[in-house]
Amino acid sequence: MENSQTSKEVLARAVRSIGSAEFIPDLLDLMRVYLPFQGAFITRLNLSRPPEHVYDNVQQARRSAVVDRWLDRAWLLDPFVVSFISERHDPIMVLDDVAPDRFSSSDYFNIYYKSIRLKDELAVFVTLSDSTLFFSLGPINSAARFARRDVKKLREMQPVVAALCEQHFYRSPRSQSEQIAGEITLKALIETTCTGLTNREIEVVQHLLRGHSSKSTADLLEVSPATVKAHRKNIYRKLGISSQSGLFSIFLQSIA
């Protein structure tokens, strides 16, 4: 931890606000001492139910595009959430750690991610007794990437952030009405909106929607790229589309 009086004062304020409504803003101020960021969107992740909203500082005019769409179903394509579901996540990760090989040219990036005006994103994961907190943080300059030295500072501070969260959420448990029942998966959504596909074709669609190339998809499914291309051809024919953009449009329409 840095030795400045300011960081100690901010830490003290976060400790004092445990169990109160001011805790999350105070905690974010503490994290900003080590890593400058602007946007913050916090949810609870659980393998058996959709994410639950905890906090965000998104402007009201942009909530529909940034928050509501993500909470609806776009989270199913979020590379950080995919990493969490696959149990391959670290406590602190940046977008380059989790993005598929064609993420920057994928329809998800161009239609959803680019719409939130970010070039980079940093995730902080905190494991609680019944769920995992997912902090999605955006840089101050949306066209910039997080500096490695700042990421390193926050990574060193993460155990303190986790301990504070553990205390706060232990003292402020969710009420029964706040717990969301039901389960939604990308596979189930594809089965509903893209009828007539085989199980293997559904697997291919999942990887394509998340931004994987044919080669990357082939590696994940342990088949040849030619096999994936054949599956893509059959998928497009069955769905009456001619490109991956058409596939993503179907997904977006299901979200809407």
Q: Is the pLDDT of residue 233 over 70?
A: yes
Q: Specify the DSSP element, H or E, that contains 208.
A: helix 199-209
If you average pLDDT over residues 198-226, what whole number do you get?
Answer: 87
Q: What does the pLDDT average to over 81-93?
A: 86
Residue 60 has pLDDT above 90, yes or no: no
Nearest residue to 168 (alpha-carbon basis) of 12, 17, 13: 17
Whether pLDDT at 35 is above 50: yes
Which of 159-163, 209-213, 251-255 shows the lowest per-residue confidence on average (mean pLDDT)?
251-255
Q: Which domains does the chain have, with CATH numbers?
A: 5-178 (3.30.450.80), 186-255 (1.10.10.10)
Residue % of the chain over a pLDDT of 70: 89
Q: Which tokens in the block code for residue 16?
A: 């004092």
- The pLDDT of residue 53 is above 60: yes
| pLDDT of residue 182 exceeding 50 | no
| Residues 217, 221, 225, 231, CA torsion sign | negative
pLDDT, average across residues 53-64: 90
Task: Say yes or no to pLDDT of 149 above 90.
Answer: yes
Length of the chain: 256
Q: Give the pLDDT mean for 217-232.
A: 91
Would you state the pLDDT for residue 64? 84
Mark 99-125 as b/e (b = at least 16 C-beta within 10 Å).
bbebbeebbbbeebbeebebbbbbbbb
- Region 86-108 average pLDDT: 85
Cα gap 184→165, rounded to integer Å: 27
Model pLDDT, residue 141: 85
Q: Tell me the per-residue pLDDT of 97-107, one tens digit each, with 9 for 90 and over.
A: 988 888 887 77
Q: What is this structure's pTM?
A: 0.76
| Sequence-distant contacts of 242-246: CB under 8 A, at least 24 apart | 244/107, 244/208, 245/107
Does the structure show a pLDDT above 70 at 245? yes
| 126-144: average pLDDT | 90
Q: How many CA atoms lie within 13 A of 28 on its CB side?
A: 19
Mean pLDDT of 215-234: 90
- Compute the distance between CA of residue 233 and CA of residue 147 in angstroms, rounded to an integer: 42
50: left (phi over 0), alpha (psi -120 to 50) or beta: beta
Longest CA span, the chain? 64
Mean pLDDT of the chain: 85
- Mean pLDDT for 30-49 is 92
